[in-house]
Amino acid sequence: MGILSTIFTWWNGATFGTRLGLSGKKQVGEDDLGNLYYEGGTDMHGRARRWVIYNGANDASRVPPEWFSWLHHQIDDVPDRALPPVRRWEKPATANLTGTALAYRPPGALDLGGARVRATGDYEAWTPDA
């Protein structure tokens, strides 16, 4: 990423000003996607302020549930210490796929040709005269 995009574009990652504002803050962890989590100072309620610096595009759906809980003060300690280990049957969190080629498209969607399965005959359309 070039220096100008680092200064002016917030949607491609943390800007220069954000990184400058994190000086003196403590990095407390990193998730599997490479997002970095910081803590430092207090908010107006006296709670510790917490931040995420995204690895790549700024998309809140890219924050795993355990780190979401930490960011929103639902758990006090970092997820590695506060939560039980992940069970083997749990699926990993995925980002929101809306607007991508991997998004869910139901049968009959225009992207799939617009043809849907015929009704089975158990449906009768309403008419105002009936």
Which residues neighbour 85 within 8 Å (Cβ) at sequence distance 6 or greater?
none
Sequence letter at residue 109:
A
- The phi, psi pair for 101, rounded to 5°, reads -70, -20
Return the closest-CA partner of residue 112 out of 120, 121, 123, 101.
101
Share of the chain above pLDDT 90, in %: 28
Q: What is the pTM of this model?
A: 0.69
What is the four-CA torsion angle of 91, 92, 95, 96, rounded to 10 degrees?
10
The residue with tokens 């498209």 is: 105
For the chain, give me the number of helices (H) and strands (E)?
4, 3
Per-residue pLDDT of 19-59, as tens digits, reads 777 888 899 999 988 999 999 888 899 999 998 988 887 88
